[in-house]
Amino acid sequence: MSRAPVLALACTAVALALAAAPARAAETPVRVATLVPFVESALARVSGPYEVVATVRRSLHVPVAGGVADLGNPHGPSLEVLAEARPTLVVGDRGLHAAQADALAVGGAEVLLLDTRSIDATLAGLETVGHRVGAGEAMRRETAAVRARLAELALAEPLPTLAVFGAPGSFLVVTGRTWLGDLLARLAFANVGDVPGGDERFPGLLALSDERLASLRPSLVLLVAHGDPNAIEAAFGQRTAEGGPWSGLRAEADRGVHALDPELFTANPGLDVARAAEALVAMARDGSAPE
């Protein structure tokens, strides 16, 4: 055989190999580790060439599902367990994990940090995750459904509302610089606690004096618990009871004082924000939460 046919055959083989390479690469699943619980929940709704190999706990006392590496606390995930999971994509919260970005890039993994402080940023971040794992169109359908539902739920008239974040020993007012404050604004709740001059102890959360809080006039009070909801609700009740420093709040709140469902409101719920909105609007309309 002459060299020309041999060379032609070799070139054909190389061309076929190159053509096949992208297809094989596309079939390789993206190994996802998420430090944001709502990302795992969102990915469970869509299919694509990805695998969730590691995640953080939704509750500190409840381990993650079997078969997925347990990274522990979202505020301080285990880097050792993360490395053992061998992710190719690590998804975190920009507010929580920016300082750890280099350490999170275990084994050369890509680190994607999401802005979770507003609803639009949250949904856009999920769309980016969906695109990155090969489920972009499916994720866009999910986020579009959430946006449409939120538009349907917006109140016809603004409702004076106070949202308070309760932790053992302290109560902080929720401002519009948080996902919940942004959701309230989007639904036409008027946040009476989003005022200048407070002490911003944590991003978007203000400590106000007893006098300042007592002067507010909300029709609806929302209590978000970090920790034991019953204990925090009881502590809030003492401060708003007759003779307490915030007794005026309960007297003004004709739509009631409501402890919010921790599963929906303690942390950004991602695609479940529509469910959170439904609960808020039910409280605004008749002072009760949906079944």
CATH number of 27-151: 3.40.50.1980
The rounded distance, in Å, linking the Cα atoms of 31 and 45 is 17
Q: Where are the domains of the chain?
A: 27-151, 154-286
- Choose the CATH number for 154-286 among 3.40.190.10, 3.40.50.300, 3.40.50.1980, 3.40.50.10860: 3.40.50.1980
Locus of tokens 């008749």: 286
- Listed in sequence order, the residues at least 6 apart from 61 whose beta carbon sits closer than 8 Å to its beta carbon are none
Do the domains 27-151 and 154-286 sit in the same CATH topology, yes or no? yes
Q: What is the pLDDT along the chain (291 residues), one digit of tens a residue?
A: 454 444 444 444 444 454 554 444 446 899 999 999 999 999 999 999 999 999 999 877 778 888 899 999 999 999 999 999 999 999 999 999 999 999 999 999 999 999 999 999 999 999 999 999 999 999 999 999 999 999 999 999 999 999 999 887 789 999 999 999 999 999 999 999 988 878 888 889 999 988 888 889 999 999 998 877 788 888 888 888 888 888 888 788 899 889 999 889 989 999 999 999 999 999 998 655 544
| Tokens coding 36 | 């944001």
